[in-house]
Amino acid sequence: MYYDIWKPYVPVAKRRAQAARKASRLAKKGHTLSPVVIDGRTIATTFWGKAWCSNLERYSDYANRLPRGRTYVRNGSVFDLRTAPGTVAALVSGSDVYEIEVKVASLPKTRWHTVCKDCAGAIDSLVELLQGRFSKAVMGRLCQANTGLFPSPKEITFTCSCPDWASMCKHVAAVLYGIGARLDKSPDLLFTLRKVDQQDLITSAGKGLQRRRKGPAPAKILDTGDLSEIFGIEMAQTAAKPTRKSRRPRSK
């Protein structure tokens, strides 16, 4: 047994039991859980999920806690994750059951208009958009740091009911990865979180018929290598396994 700085290590079986008790209390109140289930080691497999996770990993602000967050989300600790415009509420099983809220800032209107303008004529349908079936040029545009669709750290705020949340705790990190996993199933969630209408990207395509031929090349699904190229970093599933070394004492 090892100790997590201050608190004794809580075995997985006990964590599960705590989570089950919480789940049963919530069920009595009519609350249906929406757990994040990861199949294998890969947290996200689609363009939207991978791009979300890569975006998290591009910022050094989050570097310390992300490896623990990946472990947590992979082992099923995020046993409830619910989304609403601009907000994600989640329950994570750790030493105790913790409640997490993540708020994502709305995409500034001017930025959204510029994204739509830059992608005009390049995305033919909502299905192509949500399946991530568009050119590298469009992907690169959507994934641009600070001017694309994905939030920078200053556009993400969070709270956790654990005593350690002032700097990002592993529970929040797990929820952030949980959002990436959820985007695999519901890519439209990104637009909900950022409070923009994904249809605008398609509508722009209609309006921009004149420009269609000049738009980026037709649909193509990026593989991990391409995404890594865009972000200039390793993708989550190829990152090193977290080790005890990566565990840090609370510094704040």
Interface residue with Zn ion among 165, 188, 228, 237 (CB under 5 A) is: 165
Nearer to Zn ion, 161 or 224 (CB): 161
**Which part of the chain contacts Zn ion (CB under 5 A), choosing from 61-69, 116-124, 154-162, 181-189?**
154-162
Does position 173 bind Zn ion by CB under 5 A? no
Binding to Zn ion by CB under 5 A, coded x per residue (else -) over 46-85, reads ----------------------------------------
Helix 47-57, helix 170-185: angle, nearest 10: 160
Binding to Zn ion by CB under 5 A, coded x per residue (else -) over 103-142, reads ----------------------------------------
HEC profile of the chain: CCEECCEECCCHHHHHHHHHHHHHHHHHCCCCCCCCCCCCCCCCCCHHHHHHHHHHHCCHHHCCCHHHHHHHHHCCCEEEEEEECCEEEEEEECCCEEEEEEEECCCCHHHHHHHHHHCCCCCCCHHHHHCCCCCHHHHHHHCCCCCCCCCCHHHEEEEECCCCCCCCCHHHHHHHHHHHHHHHHCCHHHHHHCCCCCHHHHHHHHHCHHHHHHCCCCCCCCCHHHHHHHHCCCCHHHCCCCCHHHCCCCCC
- Quote the least distance from Cβ 169 to Zn ion, whole Å: 3
Does position 160 bind Zn ion by CB under 5 A? yes
* Vertex 40 angle, CA 227 and 103, to 5°: 60
**Which part of the chain contacts Zn ion (CB under 5 A), choosing from 160-168, 192-200, 226-234, 236-244?**
160-168
Nearer to Zn ion, 59 or 165 (CB): 165
Neighbours of 189 (CB within 10 A): 17
Does position 205 bind Zn ion by CB under 5 A? no
- Quote the least distance from Cβ 132 to Zn ion, whole Å: 31
Does position 102 bind Zn ion by CB under 5 A? no
Nearer to Zn ion, 133 or 170 (CB): 170
Interface residue with Zn ion among 162, 174, 196, 230 (CB under 5 A) is: 162
Question: What would the two tokens of residue 158 be?
Answer: 């969070």
Nearer to Zn ion, 122 or 176 (CB): 176
Does position 171 bind Zn ion by CB under 5 A? yes
Does position 169 bind Zn ion by CB under 5 A? yes
> Residues interacting with Zn ion, by CB under 5 A?
160, 162, 165, 169, 171
